């Protein structure tokens, strides 16, 4: 017998002595048999006295747990062989307990857990190499000390047979073993190792081919269950293994048989071979590894979505998703650096038309748009940073060429839809990305053309007016498509793209994100170059109008948090939009010069579904954009007149109601200029025409208009409550807080103008409220007229100032509007009626219509 | 009408409907639904059905077991889409029936009939899978906006997807909601689609993050104020298919058997007779079918090439 100093396999050696107490169970009591040092030792008994160094393993190894007395090392307290099917238990941190083959219960209590660790490692090694049938199980007390948890650390693992010919019985055994091995992590890990090492899937596929040939149904179902069990192991390596080129068809074939549906067979293989999507290479994809990743990705999706769709539980499903995401990330990473995508994008460079010798160029280009669409769809799941990186790469490679191709050359709406969807995804992720790179692209141009700010002549400035920034170009393209393309799906998408591009908050989402080298700083510089020149050119037209609103306090507060640069930049962006794009986009809603108020000429030209989208966009810009900017456009171009005209009969009901909703949104802004404009122009008339048609019906229209009444009445009550608290404040402190009272005005206006109609609608609760509010106000006004007059006189100065602040629509409108204005004023005055002093004529109106102030808290 | 019949046949077989056909169906549906009230009046006898969740084959069973739309009046309490594999087909089939038999079928909006929810719970993905772009999803979502918010049977039974709202004490108040909008995150319209009943003393916060939890007091109050005897709603899985609560003042009806193809529940529909007697019909999930291929296993329908 020789004690090995060094393990020949290089896997393990004798252990360092560790201090233990040895216990033996006698009469159900643990008896302390002494303290000593424990070692694990391996000895080799050579059965034949041959060359020991030779590899033909003729020696037999044995392993022992030894404890020698700490005081008398020669005194062996314990020598126990690791053999047979002994189960060693590691209890808690420091105990190893077992029953040897003679039936003795032995326990080693280690001084420290480290010692116990070391001996456990030894047992594991012995199990692997010498005594394969022993096992080591960790036993811990369960949560809150209840029960105990057993976890196998090492044990003999039964594995399925690997013989190439199998029958029902062996397959059944294999399935059973595989199932049982899921019970412990250790067994599972060992099995996974086995499956990968022995190419077990291939063995199964071979069996499957034979079984299918022989129509051995039982075997086929067993094989299917074996594959499913392996999928339930939820191991990435196994799944990836299943979907590589060598295994995928076999695996999918096996899964065509399903014990849940014993009388039918799916035809996944046939589908994959014939009908299935094929991997199309627009240009050859050189990188073979990537090709495989692409295929694996598709196959995993096919398994997830089709073959296994009913089978996967959340756990499996998540693993599939994780792997797919990982592969996708890998694909996207690759595409960013490989010339593959760049070469495809070159196909759209119209300047180099003659260089492209492909006969199927058009098809390639259309396919390229599909490819981009897929890339971008795929990228949706990536992390934000990765997305930014990828989209930036796309834009750099020439994404804009593709988009212009899609929008200017392509006529197939399906291709256009994909292009739009692509762009939506990108701008929804980060609108600045496009704007950034756009300004970078125009950098060369603007550096060349535009002199430094301040030094430019008016001629240079004129040149700079003509080129439109890429972002405005994009908005213009989208607007034109919206107006001309009748495909409903495309229209919806364009509107979404416009919504995103025109959403003020979207513009600054990722400003502080990673822009390597194209940081916001440089972008701002680009902006300033371009904008400075434009500003000066438009000085005459822009400044004078802008000043109209400089007193306006009711700015969109969502921008408060932005710093000045950003705000400036944003403001310029929207100024550009309103100057260059809005007149085109909203052309169907803008009255042409010289044309009469009749909308009939334009009816035919634009269909109602388009008008629905445009009216929604008006609603959107009025509520989301900085008030002064959007209102200026909306009121100056008289868009609302056209919107209200759309409420008339003759249009589809969807459009008529969309227009009503637009008006509802605008009155909810509680903006005095809008309120005055709508009343001055009598734009509510058509709503009452529509109500007249539906007053006896319980339908959507009726509800839509009831909602309108509800808004007016409840806001009116709310502002009256505000008013009384303001009055209280005035009486207590002498401070007058001006408070807008748009809704009382509106209520009064509506009740007076449509009183006869209201009489028929009194069963609607909010209509009743509106009428009585109006009555109450009249009485209150009568009471207060005296004090009001005094108050007004004291405020004359303020009033004169306020008078200069009349909005565009009133002050710059045509004489006819002026007349209308004074007419409505007269009417309103008639309502107030009791203020008789001529000096307070105008003042009376202004008091009812005080400056909008910041909302009271 | 011929066209609708043909579409119905295709839908029942789970076959592909062209984008154009879906668009024109959806437009017609908009026009029809606009004429309906927020709370539609329905006469007895009528069969009330709960959540469907894209389980087309179980929906077909439902019609089979309960008389069929040719002979029976139906109210569907919403949640036609998401979860199951055939959201589109289920919803379109109901739309087709609605167009063909406008008086015999009432469709109420569920909390899943919104853009936001369908993007997360499957309908959007299903459309992307079947069509490769999101147009059809958009068309359907537009129709969702027009669906009624509730129904009232013989002025006696109030039907709604989720439950009550603290902002709604009379059914009449629901009339003043402009329902054509994405379901808001709060307010009456939201609550009607999201709330749940439970043993609570008063209005309580809902763990769903939208709507409220209401108890017997709220139910009794509502029944009394509106002079109705029953609130019929869906929205919650019931293993037995239906569950009456609060001394029979409220019932939950669930019509998606073996929900998500794995919950193991049965489904139910509730028939209200002329004398307002309640009859429940219970049914199981469809078994796999032979012959026409396995109709349960979804297949990839469109054949799109892949480039990546």
Q: How confident is the model at residue A764 (pLDDT cuts 50, 70, 90)?
A: confident
The token duo for A43 is 């000895």
**pLDDT computed for residue A513 by the predictor:** 33
What pLDDT is recorded for position B306? 59
Quick one: A572 and A479 in the same domain? yes
pLDDT tens-digit map of A620-629: 999 988 888 8
- What's the per-residue H, E or C state across A273-285? HHHCCCECCCCCC
pLDDT beyond 90 at B300: no
CA distance A843 to chain B (A): 37
Q: Give yes or no for residue A357 having a pLDDT over 70.
A: no
B interface mutation test: which of A261, A306, A489 has the most B CBs within 10 A? A489
Secondary structure letter of residue A737 according to DSSP: P
Cα distance from A706 to chain B (closest Cα, Å)?
5
Per-residue model confidence (pLDDT) at position A838? 33
CA nearest A627: which of A521, A556, A693, A702? Answer: A556
A25 domain residue, yes or no: yes
Give the residue-averaged pLDDT of A462-487: 72
Q: Beta-carbon neighbour count of residue A593 at 10 Å?
A: 5
Report the b/e string of A382-410 with b at 16+ CB within 10 A: beeebbbbbbbbbbebbbbbbbbbbbeeb
pLDDT surpassing 90 at residue A781? no
What's the mean per-residue pLDDT of chain B? 90
For residues A323 and A370, membership in a common domain is answered with: no
A233 and A331 housed in the same domain: yes
CB-based burial label for A11 (10 Å; 0-12, 13-18, 19+): exposed
Convert the pLDDT of each residue in A532-558 to its tens digit.
Answer: 333 333 333 333 333 333 333 334 444
Domain end: A337, A363, A397, which one? Answer: A337
- Most A CBs within 10 A among B176, B288, B295, B298, hence the mutation to make, goes to B176
User: What is the residue-averaged pLDDT of chain A?
Assistant: 75
Same domain, A110 and A13: yes
pLDDT at residue A289 above 90?
Answer: no
Q: What is the pLDDT of residues A663-716, one digit of tens each?
A: 999 999 989 899 999 999 999 999 999 999 998 899 999 999 999 999 998 888
Answer yes or no: do A297 and B308 touch at CB < 8 A.
yes
First to last CA, chain B: 42
pLDDT 10s digits, B26-48: 999 999 999 999 999 999 999 99
**Domain tally, chain A:** 3
Residue range(s) defining the domain that contains residue A489 = 343-542+556-584
Instruction: Look at strands B230-233 and B250-253 and give their pairing.
Output: parallel
Residue A247 counted as domain residue: yes
Max mean pLDDT range (A38-47, A226-235, A266-275): A226-235
Could you report the per-residue pLDDT of A601-621, keeping only the tens digit for each?
A: 444 567 899 999 999 999 999
pLDDT mean over B128-139:
87
Q: What is the pLDDT of residues A207-228, one digit of tens each?
A: 999 998 888 888 899 999 999 9
Q: Helix, strand, or coil here: A199?
A: coil
Last residue of a domain, one of A337, A365, A380: A337
Of B173 and A595, the structure prediction assigns the larger pLDDT to B173
Q: Mark whether A315 and A356 lie in a shared domain.
A: no
> Of A481 and A708, which is predicted with more confidence?
A708
Q: pLDDT confidence of A453, banded at 50, 70, 90?
A: very low
Q: In whole angstroms, how far apart are CA B255 and each of B13, B54, B56, B68?
A: 20, 11, 11, 15
The alpha-carbon radius of gyration of chain A (Å, integer) is: 41
Tell me the C-alpha distance between A372 and A419, whole Å: 8
Interface of A with B in 429-488 (CB under 8 A): 488
- Flag whether pLDDT at A444 surpasses 60: no
Same domain (yes/no): A439, A569: yes
Residue A653 forms part of a structural domain: no
Out of A100-104, A120-124, A436-440, B111-115, least confident range: A436-440
Any domain includes A787: no
pLDDT tens digits along A825-839: 344 333 333 333 333
Structure tokens at B151: 């129904």
The predicted model gives A108-135 an average pLDDT of 90
Residues B191, B164 contacting (CB under 8 angstroms): yes
**Inter-chain touch B129–A701, beta carbons under 8 Å:** no
**For the whole prediction, is pTM greater than 0.90?**
no
Task: Give Cα A422 to chain centroid, integer Å.
Answer: 14
Query: Does one domain contain both A149 and A196?
Result: no
Q: Determine which of A511-525, A582-596, B204-218 has the lowest per-residue pLDDT on average.
A: A511-525
Among this protein's residues, is B112 annotated catalytic? yes
Question: What pLDDT shows up at residue A429?
Answer: 74
A566: in domain: yes
- Whole-angstrom distance, CA of residue A464 vs CA of residue A631: 27
Q: From B145, which residue of chain A is nearest by alpha-carbon distance?
A: A700
Same domain, A505 and A436: yes
Same domain, A309 and A387: no
State yes or no: pLDDT of A50 exceeds 70: no
Q: Are residues A116 and A252 in the same domain?
A: no
Tell me if A846 is assigned to some domain: no
Q: Give the per-residue pLDDT at A65.
A: 92
pLDDT tens figures, B70-90:
999 999 999 999 988 899 999
CATH superfamily placement of domain B2-283: Metallo-dependent phosphatases (3.60.21.10)
Do the domain assignments include residue A854?
Answer: no
Clarify whether residues A56 and A150 are in a common domain.
Answer: yes
Per domain, the residue ranges of chain B are: 2-283
The predicted pLDDT at position A617 comes to 94
**Minimum Cα–Cα distance from A379: chain B residue:** B308
Question: Would you say A585 and A630 are in contact if contact means Cβ atoms under 8 Å apart?
Answer: no
pLDDT, tens digit, for every residue of A173-199?
999 989 888 888 888 888 999 999 888
What is the arithmetic mean of pLDDT over A86-105?
91
What pLDDT, on a 0 to 100 scale, did the predictor assign at position A831? 38
pLDDT of B25 strictly over 60: yes
Give the nearest partner residue to B299 out of A263, A277, A306, using CB atoms.
A306
In a domain, A518, yes or no: yes
Q: What is the pLDDT of residue A242?
A: 92
């Amino acid at each position: 017998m020789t004690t090995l100093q060094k393990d020949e396999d290089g896997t393990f050696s004798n252990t360092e002595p560790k201090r233990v107490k040895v216990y033996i169970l006698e009469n159900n009591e643990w008896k302390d048999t002494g303290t000593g040092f424990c070692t694990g030792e391996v000895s080799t008994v050579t059965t034949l006295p041959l060359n020991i160094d030779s590899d033909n393993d003729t020696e037999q190894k044995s392993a022992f747990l030894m404890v020698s007395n700490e005081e008398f090392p020669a005194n062996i307290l314990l020598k126990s062989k690791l053999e047979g099917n002994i189960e060693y238990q590691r209890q808690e941190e420091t105990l190893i307990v077992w029953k040897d083959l003679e039936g003795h219960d032995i326990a080693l209590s280690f001084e420290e857990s480290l010692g116990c660790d070391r001996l456990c490692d030894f047992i594991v090694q012995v199990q692997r190499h010498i005594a394969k049938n022993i096992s080591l199980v960790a036993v811990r007390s369960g949560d809150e000390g209840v029960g105990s948890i057993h976890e196998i650390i090492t044990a003999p693992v039964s594995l399925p047979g690997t013989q190439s010919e199998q029958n029902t019985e062996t397959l059944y055994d294999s399935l059973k073993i595989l199932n049982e091995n899921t019970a412990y992590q250790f067994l599972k890990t060992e099995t996974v190792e086995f499956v990968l090492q022995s190419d077990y899937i291939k063995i199964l596929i071979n069996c499957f081919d034979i079984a299918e040939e022989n129509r051995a149904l039982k075997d086929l179902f067993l094989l299917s269950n074996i594959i499913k069990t392996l999928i339930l192991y939820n191991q990435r390596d196994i799944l990836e293994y299943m979907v590589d080129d060598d295994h995928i068809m076999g695996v999918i074939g096996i899964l065509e048989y399903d014990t849940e549906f014993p009388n039918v067979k799916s035809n996944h293989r046939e589908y994959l071979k014939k009908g299935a999507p094929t991997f199309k290479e627009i240009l050859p994809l050189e990188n073979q590894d990537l090709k495989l990743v692409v295929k694996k990705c598709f196959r995993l999706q096919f398994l997830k979505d089709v073959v296994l769709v009913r089978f996967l539980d959340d756990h499996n499903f998540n693993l599939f998703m994780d792997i797919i995401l990982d592969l996708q990330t890998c694909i996207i990473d690759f595409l960013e650096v490989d010339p593959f995508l760049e070469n495809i994008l070159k196909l759209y460079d119209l300047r180099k038309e003659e260089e492209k010798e492909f006969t199927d160029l058009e098809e390639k280009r259309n396919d390229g748009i599909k490819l981009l669409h897929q890339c971008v769809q795929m990228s949706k799941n990536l992390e934000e940073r990765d997305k930014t990186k990828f989209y930036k790469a796309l834009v750099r490679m020439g994404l804009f060429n593709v988009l212009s191709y899609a929008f200017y050359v392509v006529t197939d709406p399906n291709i256009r839809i994909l292009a739009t969807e692509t762009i939506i995804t990108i701008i929804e992720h980060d609108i600045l990305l496009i704007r950034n790179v756009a300004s970078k692209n125009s950098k060369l141009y603007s550096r060349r053309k535009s002199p430094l700010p301040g030094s430019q002549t008016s001629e240079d400035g004129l040149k700079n007016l003509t080129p439109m920034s890429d972002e405005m170009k994009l908005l213009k393209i989208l607007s034109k498509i919206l107006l001309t393309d009748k495909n409903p799906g495309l229209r919806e998408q364009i509107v979404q793209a416009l919504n995103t591009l025109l959403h003020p908050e979207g513009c600054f989402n990722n400003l502080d994100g990673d822009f390597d080298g194209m940081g916001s700083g440089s972008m701002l510089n680009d902006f300033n170059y371009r904008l400075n020149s434009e500003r000066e050119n438009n000085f005459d037209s822009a400044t004078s109008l802008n000043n109209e609103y400089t007193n306006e306090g009711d700015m969109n507060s969502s921008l408060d948090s932005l710093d000045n640069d950003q705000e400036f930049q944003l403001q310029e962006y929207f100024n550009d939009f309103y100057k260059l794009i809005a007149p085109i986009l909203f052309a169907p809603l803008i009255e042409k010069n010289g044309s009469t108020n009749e909308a009939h000429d334009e009816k035919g030209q634009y269909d109602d579904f388009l008008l629905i989208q445009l009216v929604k966009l008006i609603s959107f810009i009025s509520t989301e954009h900085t008030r002064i900017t959007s209102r200026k456009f909306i009121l100056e171009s008289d868009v609302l007149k056209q919107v209200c005209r759309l409420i008339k009969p003759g249009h589809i009901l969807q459009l008529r109601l969309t227009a009503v909703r637009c008006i509802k949104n605008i009155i909810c802004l509680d903006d005095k200029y809008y309120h005055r404009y709508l009343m001055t122009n009598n734009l509510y008339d058509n709503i009452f025409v529509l109500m007249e048609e539906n007053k006896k019906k319980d339908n959507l229209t009726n509800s839509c208009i009831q909602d309108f009444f509800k808004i007016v009445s409840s806001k009116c009550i709310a502002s009256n409550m505000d008013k009384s608290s303001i009055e209280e404040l005035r009486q207590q402190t002498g401070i007058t807080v001006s408070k807008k009272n748009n809704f009382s005005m509106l209520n009064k206006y509506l009740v007076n103008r449509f009183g006869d109609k209201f009489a028929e609608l009194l069963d609607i609760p909010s209509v009743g409220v509106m009428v009585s509010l109006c009555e109450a106000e009249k009485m209150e006004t009568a009471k207060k007229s005296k004090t009001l007059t005094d108050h007004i006189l004291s405020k004359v100065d303020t009033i004169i100032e306020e008078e200069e602040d009349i909005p565009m629509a009133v002050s710059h409108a045509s004489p006819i509007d002026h007349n209308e204005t004074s007419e409505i004023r007269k009417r309103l005055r008639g309502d107030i009626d009791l203020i008789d002093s001529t000096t307070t004529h105008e003042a009376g109106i202004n008091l009812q219509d005080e400056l909008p102030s910041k909302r009271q808290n | 009408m011929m066209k609708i019949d043909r579409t119905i046949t295709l839908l029942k077989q789970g076959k592909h409907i062209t984008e154009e056909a879906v668009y024109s169906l959806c437009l017609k549906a908009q026009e029809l639904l606009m004429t309906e009230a927020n709370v539609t009046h329905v006469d007895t006898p009528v069969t009330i059905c709960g959540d469907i969740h894209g389980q087309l084959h179980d929906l077909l069973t439902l019609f089979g077991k309960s008389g069929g739309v040719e002979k029976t009046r139906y109210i569907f309490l919403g949640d036609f889409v998401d979860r199951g594999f055939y959201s589109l087909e289920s919803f379109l089939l109901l739309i087709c029936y609605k167009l063909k038999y406008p008086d015999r079928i009432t469709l109420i909006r569920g909390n899943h009939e919104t853009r936001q929810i369908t993007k997360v719970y499957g309908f959007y993905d299903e459309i992307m899978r079947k069509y490769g772009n999101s147009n059809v999803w958009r068309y359907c979502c537009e129709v969702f906006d027009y669906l009624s918010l509730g129904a009232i049977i013989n002025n006696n039974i109030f039907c709604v997807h989720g439950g009550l709202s603290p902002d709604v004490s009379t059914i009449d108040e629901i009339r003043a909601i402009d329902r054509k909008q994405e379901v808001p995150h709060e307010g009456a319209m939201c609550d009607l689609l999201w709330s749940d009943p439970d043993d609570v003393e008063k209005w309580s916060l809902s763990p769903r993050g939208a709507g409220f939890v209401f108890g017997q007091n709220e139910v009794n109050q509502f029944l009394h104020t509106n002079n109705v005897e029953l609130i019929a709603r869906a929205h919650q899985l019931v293993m037995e298919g239906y569950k009456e609560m609060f001394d029979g003042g409220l019932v939950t009806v669930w019509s998606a058997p073996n929900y998500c193809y794995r919950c193991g529940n049965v489904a139910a529909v509730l028939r209200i007779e002329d004398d307002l007697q309640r009859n429940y019909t219970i049914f199981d999930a469809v078994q796999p079918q032979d012959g026409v291929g396995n109709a349960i296993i979804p297949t990839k329908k469109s054949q799109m090439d892949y480039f990546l």
